[in-house]
Structure 1
Amino acid sequence: MMPHLELRFESRLELVSLAGAAVRAMCEVRGVDPESASAIELLAVEIATNVVEHGYQGRSGEPVQLRITFGDEQVDVEVADTGEVLPAERVANAELPEILLHATEDLPEGGFGLALVRMLADTVEVTSKEGWNVLRFTRRLKRRDAPEEQA
């Protein structure tokens, strides 16, 4: 069995933060390089936050499941919920607004989560399984203990 971490928690933002800390700690234990660990934590937290805020419309007490599986060359992360369905085309069409490429002040708050997922993950898949909405992403990684590539 591949090393993995499974978390089940209720839809509360403070629990999303704890889940993010657990994901980060597991990445460190598995020797994931700091850049990949930060991206994986950010993506897991962003997706789980979207579940709480949009899938469950802010309702607490609803189920959220997070599973992170470590392979030799990539990490697979699944976030599952029973809230409103996220249409797969919203993920496929998500883009960072042009304003982000040029300005750093007066940015609107929010609305960038799905674009971040597309930008930082190597693959993204949205499915339904036995009444659960599942967003799965993979991120290729290099281990901290791997030799540096020569340029």
Structure 2
Amino acid sequence: MLDILYIEDNIDEADIFKRVISRLPTPPTYKIIMSGTEAIDYLLQQGTHQGQSLPMPRLVLVDLNLPGQSGFDVIQQVRANNRTRYMPMVVYSTSDSPKDMRRAFDLGANAYLIKPGSYHEVSDMIRRAIEFWLTQNHYKP
């Protein structure tokens, strides 16, 4: 089983995520994918992932600005597929644009987190999100 799929193209952001996760008392399992196109292929088991038995995540954290297909495209395509329709999808972006937030929710995002500026704030936000989505939320893939 895979706890978190983090879709993020910024290597520095991915490294911060890895550090935060490694410092948790019980670190969840995770996979980082660096493009929207690859994330869609992974989640929908198509393209290079066709025919593979891949672990489905209990939570998807998705940035909006990605190479290939955007985070919006990821949300839209995952929500359009019967197998992944109810998978928890949380936008984790630097964008605080109300237009981006509205669009993400219209497409089916479950939550929208704005990346904070400091490491301490990022650590706290990720820790709280993991606590809710992996412990208190009862989604099972």
Name the TM-score, length of structure 2 as normaliser.
0.31
Structure whose alpha-carbon radius of gyration is higher:
1
From the two aligned structures, give the one with the greater helix fraction: 2
Relative contact order, CA 8 A, sep 6+: which one is greater? 1
From the two aligned structures, give the one with the greater strand fraction: 1
